[in-house]
Chains A and B, each alone.
Chain A
Amino acid sequence: MTSNPVLVNPDPHLCAGNGECHQPAQAIPADIQETIVLAGNPNVGKSVVFNALTGLYTNVSNFPGTTVDIPKGMLPDNRLLKDTPGVYGISNFSEEEFVAEKAILSGDKIINVVSALSLERDLFLTQQIIDYQKPMIVVLNQMDEAENKGLRIDVPLLQALLGVPVIPTVAVTGKGMSDILPQLTKAALGNPMTDCPDPEALRQLEDNPGRRLQTYGSRRQYVNSLVRQVVSQMEQGQHFSLSRLMGQLFLNPVVGLVSGLLVMLILYQVVGVWIAGDLVALTEETLMLGYVVPVIQKLVGSVIASNSPIYTILAGEFGVLTMSMQYIFGVLFPLILGFYIYISLLEDCGYLPRIAVLCDGLLNKIGLNGRAVIPMILGFGCVTMATVSTRVLTSQRERTIASIILAITIPCSAQIAVIVALMALAGGLKAWGIFIGMLSLIMIGLGTVLNKVLPGKSTSLMLDLPPMRMPQMKNVLRKTWVRTVVFLKEAAPLFILGSLLVSVMQVTGLLTLTERLLTPITVNLLHLPSEAAQIFIMGMVRRDFGGAGLFFLSDQLTQGQILTALLTIALFVPCIASFTVICKERGLKESALTLLGSWAVAFLIGGLTARLIEWTHIL
Chain B
Amino acid sequence: MPTLNDLKSGETAMIKEILDLDAATQAIRMGIAAGETITCIAKVPAGPTVVQHGGMELALGRDLCQKIEVVRQ
With A370-B61, A461-B60, A462-B23 known as contacts, the answer to whether A248 contacts B42 (CB < 8 A) is yes
Give chain B nearest CB distance to A13 CB in angstroms: 23
Which of A253, A370, A465 is within 8 Å of B57, CB to CB?
A: A465
Give chain A nearest CB distance to B65 CB in angstroms: 8
Q: Is B1 an interface residue (CB 8 A)?
A: no
Q: Is B24 an interface residue (CB 8 A)?
A: yes
With A220-B31, A251-B42, A357-B59 known as contacts, the answer to whether A88 contacts B26 (CB < 8 A) is yes
Within 8 A of B (CB), among A110-135: 117-121, 124-125
With A91-B25, A121-B31, A248-B41 known as contacts, the answer to whether A463 contacts B59 (CB < 8 A) is yes
User: Are A463 and B44 in contact, with the CB atoms below 8 A?
Assistant: no
The interface size bin for chain A is: 35 or more
Q: Residues of A contacting B31 with CB < 8 Å?
A: 120-121, 124, 220, 224
Q: Is A360 an interface residue (CB 8 A)?
A: yes
A118 to B30, CA, bound (A): 9
A125 to B45, CA, bound (A): 33
Q: Is A98 an interface residue (CB 8 A)?
A: no
Q: Is B58 an interface residue (CB 8 A)?
A: yes
A358 to B42, CA, bound (A): 11
A251 to B41, CA, bound (A): 9
A210 to B27, CA, bound (A): 14
Q: Is A277 an interface residue (CB 8 A)?
A: no
Which of A89, A120, A125, A253 is within 8 Å of B44, CB to CB?
A: A253
User: Are A213 and B21 in contact, with the CB atoms below 8 A?
Assistant: yes
Do most interface residues of chain B lie in helix, strand or loop, or is the interface mixed? mixed
Q: Residues of B contacting A159 with CB < 8 Å?
A: none
How does the 8 Å CB contact mask read for A79-107 relative to B, with 1 for contact and 0 for none?
00000000011010100000000000000
User: Are B42 and A216 in contact, with the CB atoms below 8 A?
Assistant: no
Q: Is B19 an interface residue (CB 8 A)?
A: no
Which of A119, A124, A224, A364 is within 8 Å of B29, CB to CB?
A: A124
Which of B25, B30, B57, B63 is within 8 Å of A213, CB to CB?
A: B25
User: Are B29 and A360 in contact, with the CB atoms below 8 A?
Assistant: no
Interface centre among A149, A210, A360 (most CB of B within 10 A): A360
With A210-B21, A213-B21, A460-B62 known as contacts, the answer to whether A358 contacts B47 (CB < 8 A) is yes
User: Are A252 and B42 in contact, with the CB atoms below 8 A?
Assistant: yes
A360 to B26, CA, bound (A): 19
Which of B25, B41, B53, B60 is within 8 Å of A216, CB to CB?
A: B25
User: Are B55 and A461 in contact, with the CB atoms below 8 A?
Assistant: no
User: Are A93 and B62 in contact, with the CB atoms below 8 A?
Assistant: no
A460 to B68, CA, bound (A): 12
User: Are B25 and A357 in contact, with the CB atoms below 8 A?
Assistant: no
A93 to B23, CA, bound (A): 10
A296 to B54, CA, bound (A): 63
Within 8 A of A (CB), among B22-38: 22-31, 33
Do most interface residues of chain A lie in helix, strand or loop, or is the interface mixed? helix
Q: Residues of A contacting B53 with CB < 8 Å?
A: 120
A592 to B64, CA, bound (A): 34
Give chain B nearest CB distance to A84 CB in angstroms: 16
User: Are B59 and A253 in contact, with the CB atoms below 8 A?
Assistant: no
Give chain A nearest CB distance to B44 CB in angstroms: 6
Q: Residues of B contacting A465 with CB < 8 Å?
A: 50, 57-59
User: Are A209 and B61 in contact, with the CB atoms below 8 A?
Assistant: no
Within 8 A of B (CB), among A347-389: 353, 356-358, 360-361, 364, 369-370
How does the 8 Å CB contact mask read for A212-231 relative to B, with 1 for contact and 0 for none?
11001100100010010000
Which of B25, B47, B56, B58 is within 8 Å of A212, CB to CB?
A: B25
The residue in chain A whose Cβ has the minimal distance to the Cβ of B30 is A121
With A118-B55, A125-B29, A213-B21 known as contacts, the answer to whether A460 contacts B64 (CB < 8 A) is yes
Give chain A nearest CB distance to B10 CB in angstroms: 11
Give chain B nearest CB distance to A97 CB in angstroms: 10
User: Are A461 and B59 in contact, with the CB atoms below 8 A?
Assistant: yes
Which of B24, B42, B48 is within 8 Å of A370, CB to CB?
A: B48
A268 to B57, CA, bound (A): 32
A380 to B10, CA, bound (A): 36
A465 to B58, CA, bound (A): 6
Q: Is A301 an interface residue (CB 8 A)?
A: no
User: Are B44 and A93 in contact, with the CB atoms below 8 A?
Assistant: no
User: Are B44 and A369 in contact, with the CB atoms below 8 A?
Assistant: no
A247 to B56, CA, bound (A): 12
User: Are A119 and B47 in contact, with the CB atoms below 8 A?
Assistant: no
Give chain A nearest CB distance to B14 CB in angstroms: 15
User: Are A88 and B30 in contact, with the CB atoms below 8 A?
Assistant: yes
Q: Is A464 an interface residue (CB 8 A)?
A: yes
User: Are B50 and A360 in contact, with the CB atoms below 8 A?
Assistant: no
Give chain B nearest CB distance to A113 CB in angstroms: 16
User: Are A364 and B61 in contact, with the CB atoms below 8 A?
Assistant: yes
Q: Residues of A contacting B25 with CB < 8 Å?
A: 91, 93, 209, 212-213, 216
Which of B30, B44, B55, B64 is within 8 Å of A361, CB to CB?
A: B44
Give chain A nearest CB distance to B32 CB in angstroms: 9
User: Are A88 and B59 in contact, with the CB atoms below 8 A?
Assistant: no
How does the 8 Å CB contact mask read for A511-532 relative to B, with 1 for contact and 0 for none?
0000000000000000000000
A-B contact pairs, 30 of them (CB 8 A): A88-B30, A91-B26, A91-B29, A93-B22, A117-B56, A120-B54, A120-B56, A121-B31, A121-B55, A124-B31, A213-B21, A213-B25, A217-B28, A248-B42, A353-B59, A356-B59, A357-B47, A358-B47, A360-B44, A360-B48, A361-B44, A364-B63, A369-B61, A370-B61, A461-B48, A461-B59, A461-B61, A462-B26, A462-B27, A462-B61
Known pairs A121-B56, A353-B59 / 15 extra A-B pairs, C-beta < 8 Å: A93-B22, A93-B26, A121-B29, A124-B29, A210-B21, A213-B28, A216-B29, A358-B44, A360-B61, A361-B47, A369-B61, A460-B60, A460-B64, A464-B30, A467-B57
A-B pairs, 8 with minimum CB distance: A461-B61, A361-B47, A460-B61, A120-B54, A460-B64, A251-B42, A118-B55, A89-B29
B-side interface residues toward A, CB under 8 Å?
Answer: 21-31, 33, 41-42, 44-48, 50, 53-64
A-side interface residues toward B, CB under 8 Å?
Answer: 88-89, 91, 93, 117-121, 124-125, 149, 151, 209-210, 212-213, 216-217, 220, 224, 227, 247-248, 251-253, 353, 356-358, 360-361, 364, 369-370, 460-465, 467
